[in-house]
A and B are shown apart, each in its own frame.
Chain A
Amino acid sequence: MSQTNAQTAAPYPNRLESSPRLRSLKKALGRFFQNKLGVAGGLFLLILVILAIFAPWLAPYNPMKQDYMAILQGPSAKHWFGTDDLGRDVLSRIIYGARVSLKAGIISVAIALAIGVPIGLISGYFRGFWDEFIIMRITDAMLSFPSLVLALTLAAVFGAGLNNAMLAIGLVYTPHFIRLVRGQVLAQREREYVEAAIAAGISHWRIMLRHILPNAWAPIMVQATLSVAGAIISEASLSFLGLGTQPPTPSWGSMLSEGQGYITQAPWIAVFPGLFIFLAVMSINVFGDGVRDMLDPKLK
């Protein structure tokens, strides 16, 4: 090819060539580590995950084991977070409870993503009758209910239990994701690169999955992270009301519920699970902000 043309391409400074994906990943991680709060949140989450995974080895006691010699004991060297009305170790129950709470948070959001993303994507891409009159009206209707009331109703219909609670929470979160994804898709669809892909004869499915979705992904990920926090609270609320985890399995919500009767005598039974719910939700939120900075600095 003609030499002058090859020269017109801007000269790039000499540097070690690495794969383009690796380079952009490095840059993204660099941005994440600039957000100190996000890093702190991430670290706390990491600790929670480790606690949840290695609970049997890390918990000092069996969380279900009742000890009538140690009922309603305050925090001590033996029981760091005290014991409850059945003499169970609160710390051990919190460590095991982390399993339930994290699982509930993640799986509920996964359900919401699994249903919401495809519907939002297709709905926003093709528009038309289905989008405008069916999907949007259904999500409108669902969004007009207070989400906890809706989750409560669904959980009551499905029956008590953790799995049903997660499904209920997931369904309640789904319209949020449909809306978000659809909005993102509508915005991306107007961009010229989508038109260019259509002009190049790329199929609609490929355009949706390979072109639009990656460009819409950042806000979806941020919303998903933040929703995990919401889902943990929802699960705790359902458990608190007796529709989530069933005794004697510990979950932060059910512990809170059980502890409320003793709030004046033995506040630690309710305070510690409450504190962990707060810390977990808080750290997920700041971590989510960090993820946002990482994925797309312009979103801020």
Chain B
Amino acid sequence: MQPEKRSNSESILEVKGLKKYFPVSRKHTVKAVDDVSFEVYEGETLGVVGESGCGKSTMGRAILYLQPPTAGQVTFNGKDLSTLKGRERRKLRKEMQMVFQDPYGSLNPRMTVGAMLGEIVRTHRIVPKHEVANYVRELLVDVGMKPEHADRYPHEFSGGQRQRISIARALAVQPKLIVCDEAVSALDVSVQAQILNLLRKLKQERHLTYLFISHDLSVVKHISDRVIVMYLGKIVEMANKHDLYAQPRHPYTQALLSAIPKMGEEKRERIILKGDVPSPLAVPSGCPFHTRCPIAQKVCAERKPEWHKVGDGHYVACHFA
């Protein structure tokens, strides 16, 4: 949204060579996230798109150390998370929060909204004890709820309202970065628009930075400044959103964009990918996309494509882009 501002702003989060492997048996490991590096600049929204199983959610959790990464470095505001332990890490966690996908599973069903938010506020001593109740009520109003909702249990709310509560929880500790993991995916269109607007408003008011993970390319385009496209645990393309959506370079990005059903458009020629996403247990050699790629050549199965620059801030991993 403000490209000129971004160019001279600092990176708030730096991810370097991040890997997250899950052993499934003695011989096999799922490489859910495989050697991913990128930066998030302060005040921007970095979108992460990809289909199920591409590792985008695992990546979000590894960055927050909810599932500690297998290898790699996560540096937040100059501090390397891997060197921090226990209390120190928890303190840094205060700066990085997460909004989860499932508005039903992500709230403790046996705690009132007020109790849940109050617990977090007290844990981090955000405000003096006697102001906690007030702070919680203001927080609820900030996310578009009513102060008296603090006394209710999660099951008394609709999906959209629960997602507002989830956002309030993330905001409670006054973080700098929020990872939104499919935060609007489970919602109806009209409610989704409400939540997207809320996220936008909060970002401006509180100078937040978002890492916005979603499978929905339209939503990501709407909210992001820059976008990362992931496929089978790897980043295949990264660019500022205008470049990415106007001139996608990676054949996968092109296919993704072509596959979205668009409203009110005449029937058109589309790139329809053949076959399924390969199992993450058996990631194809060379370029992981070569099994479905419409322009794949012999070299694609043999050699991993280089991550190279194709434009201002536009990077792609493809032999032919």
A192 with B105: in contact, given A1-B144, A9-B161, A201-B90 (CB under 8 Å)? yes
**In the complex, chain B residues whose CB is within 8 Å of the CB of A206:** 119, 123
Instruction: Let me know if A264 is at the binding interface, CB within 8 A.
Output: no
**Do A202 and B100 have beta carbons less than 8 Å apart?**
no
Q: Determine whether A197 belongs to the interface, using a CB cutoff of 8 Å to chain B.
A: yes
Contact with A along B118-160 (1 / 0, CB 8 A): 0110011000000000000000011111101101110001101
The answer to whether residues A196 and B106 also contact, given A201-B93, A201-B124, A202-B120 and a CB cut-off of 8 A, is: yes
Contact bitstring A250-268, B, C-beta under 8 A = 1, else 0: 0000000000000000000
Q: How far is the CB of B13 from chain A (nearest CB, A)?
A: 15
Among A5, A6, A193, A203: residue with most chain B CB under 10 A: A193
The reply to whether A6 and B146 contact each other, CB–CB distance below 8 Å, is yes
Interchain CB contact under 8 A, A197 and B144? no
Residues of A within 8 A of B164 (CB): 9
Q: Which of A80-88, A114-122, A208-216, A222-230 contacts B (4 or more CB under 8 A)?
A: A208-216
A6–B164 Cα gap in the complex (Å)?
11
Given contacts A19-B151, A214-B110, contact A1 B105 (CB under 8 A): no
Stretch at the interface among B166-174, B224-232, B285-293: B166-174
**With A and B bound together, what is the CA distance between A199 and B172 in angstroms?**
12
- By a CB distance below 8 angstroms, the chain A residues around B153 are 20, 24
Residues from chain B with Cβ under 8 Å of A200 in the complex: 93, 97, 120, 123, 169-170, 172-173
Question: Mask for A4-25, Cβ within 8 A of B = 1, else 0?
Answer: 0110111000000101100010
- Interface assignment of B14: CB less than 8 Å from any CB of chain A: no
A28 to B70, alpha carbons, bound, how many Å? Answer: 46
Contact with B173, one of A8, A20, A192, A201 (Cβ below 8 angstroms): A201
Q: Is A300 an interface residue (CB 8 A)?
A: no
Q: A195 and B108: CB pair below 8 A?
A: no
Given A5-B144, A192-B102, A10 contacting B120 (CB threshold 8 A):
no
Pairwise interchain contact B108-A211, C-beta atoms closer than 8 A: yes
Q: Which residue of A lies closest to B124 (CB)?
A: A201
Contact A193 B90 (CB under 8 A): no
Q: Are B111 and A201 closer than 8 Å at their CB atoms?
A: no
Q: How far is the CA of A19 from the CA of B94 in the complex (A)?
A: 31
CB of B54 closer than 8 Å to a CB of A: no
Bound complex: CA A17 to CA B151 (Å): 10
B138 nearest in chain A by CB position: A1
- Residue in A2, A17, A191 whose beta carbon sits within 8 Å of that of B105 in the complex: A191
Chain A CB within 8 A of B194 CB:
yes
Q: Does A198 contact B (CB under 8 A)?
A: yes
With an 8 A cutoff between CB atoms, is B112 at the interface? yes
The 9 closest A-B pairs by CB, nearest first: A5-B144, A192-B106, A192-B105, A214-B110, A193-B108, A201-B90, A1-B141, A200-B120, A199-B98
